[in-house]
Chains A and B, each alone.
Chain A
Amino acid sequence: MSTTNTPTYNSEKTEVVYGLEKTTEAIMKFLNSAEVSMDICADYTWPSVVMGVEVYKKGLYDLKTRNVKSRFVTDITIDNIEYCKELMQISELRHLGGIKGNFGISEKGYTASATLQKATLLQQVIYSNTNAIIEQQQYVFETLWSKAKPAEQKIREIEEGIDLGETKIIQSPEKILDLFIHLIKSAKSEILLMLPTINAFLRKERIGVIELLKRSATENDVNVRIITPSNDVVKKILQNAESVVVKRSQQENQRKEKRFEIQHSNIQFKETAMTTVTILVIDRKESLVMEKTDDSKENFVDAIGLSTHSNSEPTVMSYLSIFEGLWRQVRLYEELRESNEQLKAHDKMQREFINIASHEMKTPTQAILGTSGLLNYYPERKDELIEIIQRNAKRLQTLIGNILDVTRIESQTLIINKERFNIRELISSILEDYKDRIKGSNIKLIKKTNNDNNPIFVEADRDRIIQVLSNLLSNAIKFTNQGEISISLFEKIQDNSSEKDGKKEVIVSVTDTGSGINSEIFARLFSKFASKSYQGTGLGLFICKSIIQAHGGRIWAENHNIGKDKSGATITFSLPAAIKDG
């Protein structure tokens, strides 16, 4: 029945061996029987077991003595590195990160143990000399061996501190969510988050991510940067977060650098170029990239697809550079848009200026040209006509003066010739002059000062101050049909100066009971071309502001309701008082 050229059934066996003594015996028998090859695959605890237990160690060294060709695969770590170096004396050694399962194959048999404990003997071992099992396990070993990395390389990486890390694919949405939250919480210095869609932002907001980021920024001084597409809802949420962070940093008087920055990536990407993943980079050490499968889903877990988590430097740095690149691009785009808008505004202002200036020049020119022609037609009305010519020539003169002043202001060549003079006296004389001009109108001009008539000295350009006061009075008259225009003057200690320093300033106000300042132009009242009047260039107050500022003073405007049917405006300016000389 039996044949001679095939192994008998009886000679092939597969068994489980229990107990310390028997397992050790089985393993030693397995090691010592090998004459050709010995392939061992084992987890990171194995090097310490075989090199730490004398019998095993001897068994392995004997392999070398017998010239058995051996190959070992294990997980080389910083903890077992010394044992591994020793193993390299005996055998070719390779590293496979995270390898589990412990088995050996020789040309004669196969052994495997369920578990290994560090530097202890085995309690339970499987042994087999069945050819089919040996063959099959040999394939398993070859596969692992081909994927493993030479021990020399891995040891060098560990010793030189190069940790290549690893990149893992995670499929379970729940695990991805846990990891996502964990990573954000673990951040020590920096969180970069890039979101592909508005819905992606809102999903993350719903699970409290924005709140977490806010906390990282405020409590752990983590720099948070987010790139997200946005709409009004997103903007509101983020503004809220930003303001909390800013407030907090101000309270704690921290360094001024921003802890929480957002770029709204409203750039229209081409669909192919658009990222459809969420990218999270933590401390420049770890990245989590999450695909979204269905952007219409409300829940994070329902919308999420495959994700890759990496702590491998090249991968993390790549995502970092993608983030930084987009960050810069979005910022550049913003800057470009802003400067473009400024250019447009500037261009509009230039055109406006030409329009107003040309209208304001042509109107009196027309009057002068036409009226001078009329002198031939109506010689008997000469006086009346010459008055029209003079009035319009003066208007032209004022305009030319204003345009020249604006040119000087803008080219920063406005010259202030300071002299010391009594501003109380100056105001009185200007008022007398204006009282003559408004004779016959329904306007009353009054001077309001505390009763003393002590001189108030300023050091200023007398002509320029006359120009400012005339402008303010002319405006007040222009906008007041009837009522009163008052001018007040007093001296006070400067707000930001202590009593001791005694820095004084002179405050001059012109108040009218006219129509008040139009709300449309109130905010830009002192800028060029701010005018609601159809006669005027809107240059006057701009020039006044520039003159006052050139003296180190301030100018401001107020509207007020004085009572029933009464309104009005006050324009006030300040000038530094002259230092009293002895």
Chain B
Amino acid sequence: MDKSRILVVDDEPDLIQVSTLALEYHGFKVDSFNDPQEALSKYKPGLYDLVILDIKMPKMDGFELYHEIKKKDNNANVCFLTASELYYEEFREKEYWALDRNLFIRKPIDNEELVKKIKKMIKK
């Protein structure tokens, strides 16, 4: 079976490292970026089974990046991994009400729980 491939974008280097190591341990192939703009410019449509975005990031926030990725790759399977309460609440209420709330994974979350959620999303 081919390994599922996941893209992780988060501005916190420590969190990138944690996610990458945890997902690799569970058999995923992981690409990661600290810089959302770089992630966008190097994005390859159709390559990833799942894209995991942080929301609060400098230069470009996770929602903006979501839109840009969708422009390049309409079928992209994107979810958010966020520590930001206000963003989560506000955006769910406002323009992103249409987004499935299951697309939001809230930090902090342990590795097993994270992997479980990710597997569910990839199956969809």
Contact = CB atoms under 8 A, between A and B. Distances in A.
B64 to A, nearest CB: 14
B107 A362 contact: yes
A388 B86 contact: no
Interface string B75-119: 000000001111100000000000000000001111110100000
B83 A374 contact: no
Contacts of A371: 14, 18
Contact of B19 (A355, A363, A370, A377): A370
A374 B21 CA distance: 7
A81 B21 CA distance: 112
A139 interface: no
B22 A373 contact: yes
A67 interface: no
Contact of B108 (A351, A355, A369, A391): A369
B119 to A, nearest CB: 16
A365 B107 contact: yes
B83 A370 contact: no
Nearest to B59: A534
Contact of A358 (B15, B22, B84): B84
Given A377-B21, A377-B25, A388-B14, A370 B86 contact: no
Contacts of A330: none
Interface of A is mostly: helix
B22 A369 contact: no
B22 A374 contact: yes
A561 B109 CA distance: 45
B58 interface: yes
A370 B110 contact: yes
Nearest to A371: B18
A446 B58 CA distance: 31
A354 B85 contact: yes
A392 interface: yes
Contacts of B18: 366-367, 370-371, 374, 388
Given A354-B86, A355-B86, A358-B85, A366 B15 contact: yes
Contacts of B83: 358-359, 362-363, 366
B84 A359 contact: yes
B60 to A, nearest CB: 11
A476 B57 CA distance: 21
B83 to A, nearest CB: 4
B17 A369 contact: no
A269 interface: no
B56 interface: yes
A378 interface: yes
Nearest to A389: B14
Contacts of A534: 11, 56-58
Interface residues of A, number: 23
A225 to B, nearest CB: 45
A534 B62 CA distance: 13
Nearest to B84: A359
B15 A363 contact: yes
Contacts of B11: 534
Contacts of B110: 369-370, 373
B15 A370 contact: yes
Contacts of B111: 370, 373-374, 377
Nearest to A391: B14
Contacts of A369: 108-110
A352 B84 CA distance: 11
B31 interface: no
Nearest to A355: B86
A117 B14 CA distance: 110
Contacts of A388: 14, 17-18
Contact of A377 (B22, B57, B58, B86): B22
Interface in A338-368: 351-352, 354-355, 358-359, 362-363, 365-367
Contact of B109 (A354, A366, A392): A366
A358 B18 CA distance: 20
Contacts of A355: 84-87
Contacts of A378: 21, 25
Nearest to B21: A374
A371 B19 CA distance: 9
A17 B83 CA distance: 112
A38 B15 CA distance: 115
A377 B111 CA distance: 10
A355 B112 CA distance: 26
A256 B103 CA distance: 63
Interface string B1-38: 00000000001101101110110010000000000000
Contacts of B86: 351-352, 354-355, 358
B88 to A, nearest CB: 10
Contacts of A373: 22, 110-112
Contacts of A358: 83-86
B107 A363 contact: yes
Nearest to A384: B17
Interface of A: 351-352, 354-355, 358-359, 362-363, 365-367, 369-371, 373-374, 377-378, 388, 391-392, 534-535
30 contacts: A358-B83, A358-B84, A358-B85, A359-B84, A362-B83, A362-B107, A363-B15, A363-B107, A366-B15, A366-B18, A366-B83, A366-B107, A366-B108, A367-B12, A367-B14, A367-B18, A369-B109, A369-B110, A370-B22, A370-B108, A370-B110, A371-B18, A373-B112, A374-B25, A374-B111, A378-B21, A378-B25, A388-B18, A534-B11, A534-B58
Interface of B: 11-12, 14-15, 17-19, 21-22, 25, 56-58, 83-87, 107-112, 114
Given A354-B86, A358-B84, 9 more contacts: A355-B84, A365-B107, A366-B107, A366-B108, A370-B18, A374-B25, A378-B25, A388-B17, A391-B14
Q: Which 7 A-B pairs have the closest CB atoms?
A: A362-B83, A370-B18, A355-B86, A366-B108, A373-B111, A366-B107, A365-B108
